[in-house]
Structure 1
Amino acid sequence: MKFTKKYIGIITAIIGLVLFSACEDEVDLRIPYPNDITFNELTLDRFSYKIPTAPFTSGDNKSGVITVNVAGTGNNYSGFALSNKNFRSYPWDLSPTFAPAGGLTPTEVQESINTTAFSVYTPIGAVNRTENYLVGKTTGDAAYFTLAEPGTVEHLLVANTSYNYLLASYGSILSDDLDPVTQSYLIDGDVTDNPGIENPDVARYGVFTLPGIDGTLNTIRLAGTELLAKYEVGDPIGKEAGISAGEEARSVFIASNPDSTLEEQQAVYDAAYKDAYDAAFEAATDTIHKGYVKLTIEGSLNGSSTGSVDVYLALRSEVDTAYPDFNFILNDWKKVDLTSLGTVDKVLFKMSSDYVDDQGKMVYPSMFCLDGIRLQ
C-alpha cells in the first residue's frame, strides 16, 4: 500500500497528538493539586460560631492532619474557636441611637460584642470566601496547633476580627465629632453612617458603640494612640517655649508701640506663642512613632524553637523602620509564608501591641482569624 506525503503527514500528526495527550495525562498524575487544611469538613451552622470544649483535629491524609488547641469555656476560652461569621459593622443594638427600649442585659451585650469578635473582617461588598475558619485568642500561650507528623508549614492565612478592625479604626465610640484631647469620638456628637455597610440610608445614621475588653467605652483608634503619646511629651515643652516667646514678643512690641491696645498686644503674644509652641512640640516629638498590632508565629520541634515570623495586623507609618511608609489596618486575608520555620511539630501564635494599659496588657483584644494551612 502506497502512502503519499500528504497522508504520511496526517498520520504523523495524529500520532503526535496521541503522544502529547498521553504526556498531558502523565503530567496531571505527577503534579497533585495542593490540599489545604480549611476546617470546612467541621460541622457549623451558617453565619455562626462555636467554642469547642476540647482540642480538635482537622485535615486528612492528603492535606495532613493537625490538632487545634482550645482551653477554658465560653468567653473565657483561650486557643481557637470555630466560626464562619462575616459581620463588619458596629452592632446596631449597642448604638444609643437604635438601642432597644429597656436596654440589654449583660449577656445580651456580650453576645452583641461577639457578633464582631467572632467575625472575620473582609472587604465590603464580598462575602467571606473561606467558609469555616478559626478565631484565635492568644492569652496564656494556648493558641497553637500541633502536626500529626513533623513537617514544613508552607503558608497559612491570617486576618483581623471585625472587633479589632473597628476598635483600631475608630474606637469604642463612633460619631461625626472627634475630641482632639482624648482622641475619642464624642458620645453626644453628630450622627454618622455605620461603617462596613454599602449605600447606607441617611435615616440609619447614628452614634455607635462597641465596648472594649475592659467593658468600657474608653478604647480609642490606633491613630490616636500616637497623637496622645506626642501630646503627653510635647505639650508641656511647647507651653514653656510658647510662654517665653510670647512674653518676649509682647515686651518688644510694647516698647516700640507704647500706645498700642491690649488687643494688639495680645495678638502679638498669641502669634509668637503659637510659632514657638509648634516648633518646640515638633522637635520634642519628632522621634515618637507609635501604633501597631502584631501577630508573632513561632515554630518548634520536640520542644525546641525553630524560629518565628512577625505579621502586622495594623501598623502606623514610621513604626516599622524597614517599611516606614506602611500605614494600614489589615482588611482582608493575608498569606503568610512559614517555610523559614523549617520542620516543626507545633506552631504557636502570640499577639502584641504598643497600645497597652497600666499593667502592660494589650488594650485591643488579643484575637485574630486563621485559615488555609498548607503543609509540605
Structure 2
Amino acid sequence: MKFIKKYIKATVAVIGLVLFSACTDEIDLKIPYPNDITFNELTLGRFTYDIPSAPFEVGDSKSGVITVNVNNSGVDYSGFALSNKNFRSYPWDLSPDFAPEGGLTPDQVQESINTTAFSVYTNRVNTTENYLVGNTTGDNAYFTLAEPGIVEHVLVANTSYNYLLASYGSILSEDVDPVTQEYLLTGGKRSNPGIANDDTNFYGVFTLPGIDGTLRTIRLSGTELLAKYEVGDPIGKEAGITAGEDARSTFIASNPDSTSEEQQAVYDAAYNVAYNDAFEAATDSIHKGYVKLTIEGSLSGSVTGTIDVYLAIRPNVDPAYPEYSYILNDWRNVDLTSLGTVDKVLFKMSSDYVDNEGKMVYPSLFCLDGIRLQ
C-alpha cells in the first residue's frame, strides 16, 4: 500500500512537471512580450523635425528591426521624416492680423507651413514623443522588415496641416462665400483653433496656403456642397423659374389689380420652393469627401493584401459604413495582421478632392508610430 502511494505521488509529480514545461513553452510561443518600435531611441531636439538623408534602420532583437525609407533630394522629400512637433493651430505669423511688420520671406512662409506639416494633430498634448511623418509621393513611404513576419499593428494620425485644411481650409474667418465655399479674408475675426483663449485681442482671420501655394483650398465639407451645387443649381433654377412664372400668372389672373411687388413676392416664394425641391432630388445621391490611407503588405514582391483607413470622411461616402463622419483628430490603432507575413509595408493616400490633373488637393502627408511586429 505504501508502495502504491509513493508510485502515485511520483507519477503525479512527473506529469505535473511535464505539463508545467509544456505550458511554459506555449506561453513563450503565443504571448510574446510586446515591444513596439517607437523611434524614441533616435536623437531629435525638442519640438523639431528632421528629414534624414538616406533610409535608416530602427529596432532591436526584442522589437524586431525595420528599415524606414526616405528619398531626400535636399529640396523636397518623400518617404518618411522624423518629428516630435505637436502644433495644432494656424501659424500666427501667416495671419493678416498678426503677421510681422514687413511680411515674411518665401522661406519664412514655408517654415511656418512646415510648423503644421511636420506636426501630429492630437486631441490633447501628444505623448508618443518621436514619430514619423510620411509623404506618400512616388510610393516612397514604406518600411521593410529585416526578417519576414507579421505586423500586428501600427498607429496612424493626421498631420496638423491636413487636419486644419480638411476642417476649415486655407482661410479661416467667421464668413463663408456660398459659391466658392471659401472662408472670406474680409470676414469676421475668430479665435485660432486649438488655443483656449477668450481674449478677443487674439481673434483674427487666419491663413494656411495649400500645397499649390494659394489660399484656394477649402474644407472637406465644402467639396460636397460644391459637387451638389454644380449638379443641382441649373436643375433647381429651371424648376424655380417655371414654378415662379406659373404662380405669378395664376396670381395676376386672380388679382388683376395687384402691385408688381406683390407679384414678385408670389414669384419668389414659388421659385424658392421649387428650386429647393428640385435641388434636393437631383443631388440626394451625391456624397463626397474623403481622405484615405491605404496600407499594402507584400512578400518577395507579391502583394499579400491591403487595408484602407479613412483619415477624414463625410457621411454616406463609404456604403459599408454610411454613418462614418469625422476628421481623425488623434492616433488610431490599425490592425495589420490580415496582411499576413510580409517583408514590406507600403503606404498610399487618395482623396476625391482633386485638381484638374487628378492630383490630391490636400497634402499626401500622415503620421506613423508604434509599429509592433509579432
Q: TM-score, structure 1 length as denominator?
A: 0.91
Match of 1:291 in 2: 289
- Tell me if the contact between 2:192 and 2:203 (Cα under 8 Å) persists in the aligned partners: yes
3-state SS in 2 of match to 1:38: coil
**Which residue type is aligned with residue 243 of structure 1?**
I
For the Cα contact (< 8 Å) 1:316–1:328, is it kept in 2? yes
Counterpart residue type for residue 365 of structure 2: M
Say if 2:221 is the partner of 1:228.
no
The separation in 1 between residues aligned to 2:127 and 2:60, in whole angstroms, is: 21
Alignment map for 1:97-108 (pairs within 5 Å): 97-108=97-108
User: Judging changes above 3 Å, is the alpha-carbon distance between structure 1 residues 276 and 363 closer, same or farther for their aligned structure 2 residues?
Assistant: same
Q: What residue in structure 2 maps to residue 82 of structure 1? A: 82
State the alpha-carbon separation in 2 of the partners of residues 236 and 275 from structure 1.
15
User: What is the distance in 2 between the residues matched to 1:87 and 1:73?
Assistant: 26
Q: Distance in 2 between matches of 1:37 and 1:229?
A: 42
How far apart, CA to CA, are the structure 1 residues paired with 2:266 and 2:92? Answer: 50
Alignment of 1:127-138 (within 5 A): 127-138=125-136
What is aligned with 1:43? 43
Judged with a 3 Å threshold, the aligned counterparts in structure 2 of structure 1 residues 117 and 206 are, in CA distance, closer, same or farther, namely same
Deviation digits for residues 278-299 of structure 1 (CA, Å, limit 9, x no counterpart) = 0110111011000000000000
- Provide structure 1 residue ranges, at least 5 long, that are not aligned to the other structure: 1-21
Moved over 6 A (4+): none
SS of alignment partner, residue 361 of structure 1: coil
The aligned residue for residue 120 of structure 2 is 120
Q: Quote the residue 2:156 is aligned against.
A: 158
Instruction: Report what 1:67 is aligned to.
Output: 67
Number of the residue aligned with 1:168: 166
Aligned counterpart, 2:308? 310
* Secondary structure of the corresponding residue to residue 152 of structure 1: strand
Give the Cα–Cα distance (whole angstroms) in 2 for the partners of residues 200 and 371 of structure 1: 34
The equivalences for 1:1-376 within 5 A come to 30=28, 32-74=32-74, 76-123=76-123, 126-376=124-374
3-state SS, counterpart of residue 349 of structure 1: strand
CA deviation vs aligned residue, 1:91-134 (integer Å, no higher than 9, x gap): 000000000001000000000000000000001xx321110000
Query: Aligned to 1:179, what secondary structure does the other structure show?
Result: coil
SS of 1:108's partner is helix
Q: Percent identity?
A: 80
Contact 1:49 1:83 in 2 (8 A): yes
Q: CA deviation at 1:326?
A: 1.2
Give the Å deviation of 1:33. Answer: 2.8
Number of residue-to-residue matches in the alignment: 350
- CA root-mean-square deviation: 1.5
Structure 2 gap ranges (5+): 1-19
Instruction: Give the CA deviation at 1:200.
Output: 4.1
Contact 1:144–1:348 (CA under 8 A) maintained in structure 2: yes
Q: 1 CA distance for matches of 2:357 and 2:205?
A: 31
Distance 1:33 1:325 in 2: 37
3-state SS of the aligned residue for 1:194?
coil
- In the TM superposition, what is the alpha-carbon distance from 1:171 to its structure 2 partner? 0.2
Checking the alignment, whether the CA contact within 8 Å between 1:209 and 1:217 is kept in structure 2 is: yes
The amino acid of 1:227's aligned partner reads L
Q: Which amino acid aligns with 2:35?
A: N
Residues 63-96 of structure 1, C-alpha deviations (whole Å, 9 max, x = no match)? 0000000003345100000000000000000000
Shift of 1:322: 1.1
The SS at the match of 1:178 is coil
d(CA) in 2 for partners of 1:49 and 1:72?
Answer: 14
Residue identity in the other structure for 2:164: L
Q: Secondary structure at the match of 1:37?
A: coil
Structure 1 residue 180: Cα displacement: 1.2
In structure 2, the partner of 1:8 is none
- 2:354 aligned partner, one-letter code: V
**Which residue identity is paired with 2:76?**
N
Amino acid at match of 1:50: D
Structure-2 change in CA distance of 1:217 and 1:75 (3 Å): farther
1:202 is displaced (CA, Å) by 1.7
**Paired AA for residue 299 in structure 1:** G
CA contact (8 A) 2:191 2:197 kept: no
Report the CA distance between 1:238 and its aligned residue. Answer: 0.4
Aligned-partner Cα distance in 2 for 1:221–1:190: 18
Structure 2 counterpart of 1:65, one-letter code: V
Greater displacement, 68-77 / 52-61: 68-77
What is the one-letter code of the residue matched to 1:204? Answer: F
Paired with 1:142 and 1:286, the residues of 2 have a C-alpha distance of 39
Structure 2 CA distance, aligned partners of 1:316 and 1:301?
34
Secondary structure at the counterpart of residue 184 of structure 1: coil
